[in-house]
């Protein structure tokens, strides 16, 4: 979907001079990280459509998956009882966020920001997942700096899939929504703004798919996840993990998600390979979460490859619960 206006493109092309950003990779996965923790920044052209922006790329093929036409990847944080929010999305709006610091190496990046109105501080720490080369882990830490307890902490992450070599025409799968109580909405419109309290609308011929679904498409759509994480006392920090990545096949993508104990995810695949076999040079892209209070999901061993909750696998589920408890709250320094 081509939403980049001339003014937006000019801003993006010149923004790196005014603000910090980084293109990082682990040899398999490459990310373009902007100063507020959102993706999609100027970089080398992609091999098919030659987009001059880097969002999420799978380096074995060089294919780009997020930055064509619309730089629609971003996040938002908010407080349910007051409706105060801040959000960053290079295509559809950024508000009430002030940069605190940004640092990077060849393979890592750390973005720290605060609500300009003062209630929350948010750090996104990007680094290769130790468990698998097919994923980057982004640890999100949200600290209550308001001086009063928060009853309803919100977080949103928005993602428009634009996957080469069939850009603007992809299959999308969501799994884990039904077993993750913190999910408020999980739908296939990647073009909405990243304000947790923003409006949510259907997208064209793809309808408005909310919840779990398999291989919706092909269409120009994506993923938006709105979360409610409940209470956060004054001075406390809530942390969880986001994963970005890719694999040659869907089976490889699911195996990578299993390695990190994912509880919720979206898969994006080009329109020529809904089955995720790697046909026509396609590969499967990954967007997932852990530490959000859901069940650990494991790949279904059936030929369909449709993921199921691992309710019967007590060891894996127990490990996921322990990880959630470990991440749930840590008092800020």
Q: Which residues of the chain have pLDDT under 70?
A: 1-19, 204-208, 299-333
Q: How high is the pLDDT of residue 280? A: 83
How far apart CA 48 and CA 58 sit, in angstroms, is 13
Name the 3-class secondary structure at 14.
Answer: helix
Burial of 113 (0-12, 13-18, 19+ CB in 10 A): buried
Q: How high is the pLDDT of residue 48? A: 86
Q: How high is the pLDDT of residue 241? A: 98
Burial of 313 (0-12, 13-18, 19+ CB in 10 A): middle
Query: What is the per-residue pLDDT across 245-285, written as a single tens digit (0 to 9) for each?
Result: 999 999 999 999 999 999 999 999 999 899 999 988 899 99
Angle at 151 between CA 147 and CA 153, to 5 degrees: 90
Q: How high is the pLDDT of residue 138? A: 98
**Residues across the chain:** 333
Strands, E assignment, 119-165: 120-128, 135-144, 150-160
Dihedral sign, CA of 158, 160, 161, 164? negative
**219 phi and psi, to 5 degrees?**
-165, 165
How far apart CA 62 and CA 54 sit, in angstroms, is 11
Query: What is the per-residue pLDDT across 29-84, written as a single tens digit (0 to 9) for each?
Result: 999 999 999 999 999 999 888 999 999 999 999 999 999 878 999 999 999 999 99
Name the 3-class secondary structure at 88.
Answer: strand
Q: How high is the pLDDT of residue 206? A: 53
């Amino acid at each position: 979907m081509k939403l980049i206006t001339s003014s937006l493109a000019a801003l993006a092309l010149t923004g790196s001079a005014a603000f910090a950003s980084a293109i990082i990779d682990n040899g398999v996965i490459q990310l373009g990280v902007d100063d507020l923790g959102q993706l999609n920044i100027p970089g080398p052209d992609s091999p098919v459509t030659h987009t001059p922006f880097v969002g999420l790329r799978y380096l074995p093929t060089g294919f780009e998956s997020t930055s064509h036409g619309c730089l629609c990847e971003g996040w938002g944080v908010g407080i349910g009882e007051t409706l105060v929010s801040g959000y960053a999305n290079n295509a559809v709006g950024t508000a009430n966020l002030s940069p605190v610091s940004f640092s990077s190496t060849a393979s890592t990046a750390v973005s720290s920001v605060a609500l300009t109105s003062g209630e929350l501080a948010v750090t996104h720490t990007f680094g290769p997942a130790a468990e698998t080369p097919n994923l980057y882990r982004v640890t999100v830490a949200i600290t209550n700096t308001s001086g009063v307890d928060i009853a309803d902490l919100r977080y949103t992450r928005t993602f428009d899939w634009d996957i080469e070599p069939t850009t603007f025409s992809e299959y999308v799968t969501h799994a884990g929504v039904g077993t993750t109580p913190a999910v408020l909405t999980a739908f296939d419109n990647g073009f909405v703004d990243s304000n947790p309290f923003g409006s949510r609308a259907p997208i064209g011929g793809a309808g408005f798919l909310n919840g779990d679904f398999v291989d919706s498409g092909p269409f120009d759509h994506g993923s938006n996840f709105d979360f409610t994480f409940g209470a956060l006392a004054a001075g406390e920090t809530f942390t969880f993990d986001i994963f970005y990545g890719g694999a040659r096949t869907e089976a490889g993508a699911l195996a990578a998600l299993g390695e990190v104990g994912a509880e919720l995810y979206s898969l994006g695949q080009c329109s020529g390979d809904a089955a995720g076999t790697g046909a026509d040079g396609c590969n499967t892209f990954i967007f997932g979460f852990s530490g959000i209070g859901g069940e650990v999901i494991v790949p279904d061993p059936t030929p369909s490859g449709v993921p199921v909750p691992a309710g019967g696998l007590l060891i894996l589920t127990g490990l996921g619960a322990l990880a959630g408890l470990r991440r749930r709250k840590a008092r800020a320094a």
